[in-house]
Amino acid sequence: MPWTTDVIYRYDGSFCGLLCCVFESYVKKEIPLDIVSEESPQGSLYPEKWIETIEVRAQRVYRSLGQRIHPEAGRFLKDCFLTCLVSKEILIYRFINLGYRIGGRIFNNLTEETVHILNKAVKHLYHETHLLTGFVRFSDCAGTLVSVIEPKNNVLPLLSGHFCDRYPEERFLIYDKTHRLALVYQPYQAEFLEADGFLPPEPDAREENFRNLWKKFHETIAIEGRYNPKCQRTHLPIRYRDYMTEFQQSAPPLSHPVEFPGTQGNALEDGSNRPL
C-alpha cells in the first residue's frame, strides 16, 4: 500500500510532540506535506491532522534514533529543534526518514540538501550561544540577578549550563524575550518557565550607580586612536546591544558614593576613573 501525502500534521510545538508526528507517520503509513505547531496560522487548503503528544511514543522514536541512525542523532535533532530555522519540523522529519534508510552515513552526506540546511542552522545556534555567554548583562533586583536577551535561536537550554556553573551560589533569572521563556535559578536548582510579557523591575539608585560605573569603565579602557566601528560590529552585532549596559543611554551622574566591600572611604564620588 503506497504511503499517502495529502495531509498536514499539527502538534503542540514541543520536541516530544514532533517525535509523536514521526511515530504517527510510520504507523499510519503517510508522509505529511508539512508539520506545523499549534501557534502557526493555517495557510493551506490541505486537510490537517492534530497529533497528540504521548510521551511513551516519543521515547520510542527517540531510542530508535540512536539505534538505527547514530548515538548522537537524538542530541543533534534536539539542537536542530532549538534553531530559528523556518520549516524545521518537516526538515527534521526528512532527516529521520533518510537516516532510517542509510544510518550514520547521513552525517557525512553534506551534499544532501536537508542535511546541509540543518547543519548550517545548528552552527548558527552554537555561534549565537557562544556570543551570549559574553554578551549577557545582569542587573541586581532585590538580591536577584536579572537579565533580558532577544536571540534569534532558542539558546536558553544551551546557555543554562554555562551560567549555572558560573554562578552556583547566586539567584538569577534570564528572560528570552523572543521565545517568551525564562531560566530561573536558585542555588543548585534550575527551572524553565514560560513567561509572556515579562518586564524587569526598575533599577534602584544603587543599581543605577553600578551601571554608571560600568559605563565609565567601558569608556575609560577604550583607545581613541583605534576606534573602528565596522570591526566592532563584526565582533559585537548591533542587535545584541539593546540589552548591554555599556551601550544603553547614559544615566545621570552618580548621586552618591558607591562603597564596595573592603573599600570604604575610597568609593568613586563623581564618576571619575580614580583608583579605588
- When mean pLDDT is compared across 10-14, 49-53, 92-96, 140-144, the lowest value belongs to 140-144
Helix, strand, coil percentages in the chain from 3-state DSSP, rounded to 5: 45, 15, 40
Using alpha carbons, select from 210, 256, 90 the residue that is nearest to residue 77.
90
Whole-number pLDDT of residue 175: 96
The beta-carbon contacts of 266-273 under 8 Å, at least 24 apart in sequence, are 268/213, 268/216, 271/212, 271/213, 271/216, 272/216, 273/216, 273/217, 273/220
pLDDT computed for residue 199 by the predictor: 84
For residue 9, pLDDT over 90 is answered with yes
pLDDT tens-digit map of 27-86: 999 999 999 998 888 777 788 999 999 999 999 999 999 999 999 999 999 999 999 999
- Cell 549565537, residue located: 128
* Whole-number Å distance between alpha carbons of 172 and 141: 9
Please report the pLDDT score of residue 251 as a whole number: 45
- Contact at 8 Å (CB) between 258 and 206? yes
- pLDDT for the residue numbered 264: 39
Tell me which DSSP letter residue 41 carries.
P
Q: Is the pLDDT of residue 25 over 80?
A: yes
Residue 20, pLDDT above cutoff 70 = yes
CA distances from 178 to 24, 25, 91, 175 (A): 30, 31, 22, 9
**CA dist list (Å): 120 to 3, 65, 115, 158, 191:** 30, 20, 9, 17, 29
225-275 pLDDT tens trace: 888 989 989 888 999 999 999 988 754 444 444 343 443 333 333 333 333
pLDDT at 94 over 50: yes
Record the pTM: 0.84
Specify the pLDDT at position 2: 59
What residue segments make up the domains of the chain, in order of their start?
A: 8-127, 136-194, 203-276
- Asked if 253 and 271 touch (Cβ cutoff 8 Å), the reply is yes
Angle between helices 88-102 and 73-82 (to 10 degrees): 170
pLDDT computed for residue 56 by the predictor: 97
Q: Which residue type occupies 239?
A: R
Residue 90 has pLDDT above 60, yes or no: yes
User: What pLDDT band is residue 130 in, cutting at 50, 70 and 90?
Assistant: very high
SS3 of 236, please?
coil
Which residue has 537579565 as its cell numbers? 147
Say which CATH architecture domain 136-194 belongs to.
Answer: 3-Layer(aba) Sandwich (3.40)
pLDDT digits over 166-207, tens only? 999 999 999 999 999 999 999 999 999 998 878 888 888 999
> Which tens digit of pLDDT belongs to each residue from 137-172?
999 998 899 999 999 999 999 999 999 999 999 999
pLDDT at 257: 42
